Structure 1
């Protein structure tokens, strides 16, 4: 190996880690470790930037997934407990996210709790079932 090649390889080794460190790592959060406060930050991100829009889509998708899981559990379970919700059939993921933001802003002392737990509470409070409408 020539001296020039050795220098080039050495410099390349120095440049690559610097580039890898500069990449955005904001979405490398496992949802099972996501706090209610972290989800609130994603939901309230600015829609003026591409990163903010991406975070808002993550929020809406996360909350929509929790809602769908709750609905599926209601439909397949004979023993329906307090996790019952009666969201309108045409509710959008964005509306679910807005309901979460309102709830989380009023329950700031619990933002350290798991995000999914707070989403369940927000959806129960926002979309309660009347006794006649319970699944």
Structure 2
């Protein structure tokens, strides 16, 4: 995990141009030995566009005016991301639609079929 500070964007006058307050937290997911492979896979999926081509998670925090505030914000966001990845999703139990739902679906299909048949131009053969 590495932390660097860059110049922030947005309003702030001369201070924005002089002081590097935006925090960039880089967590190398591929080289991390603390996380299991399943957690890494879920973390990769949760990271989305924060995942770099090298396999690192890049979190940029620039909402605070101080380095300390942005550093804390970036670390908290990484911790929250890892916490969400640690929880394995429950496996889905396959279920079938109840008979009433199936009957309603088929009844609706019959009604639509009849309506469309009534819209058609009558044929002379009947």
Q: Which has the higher contact order (CA 8 A, sep 6+)?
A: 1
TM range (shorter): under 0.3
Larger Rg: 2
TM-score by length of 1: 0.26
Higher strand proportion, which one? 2
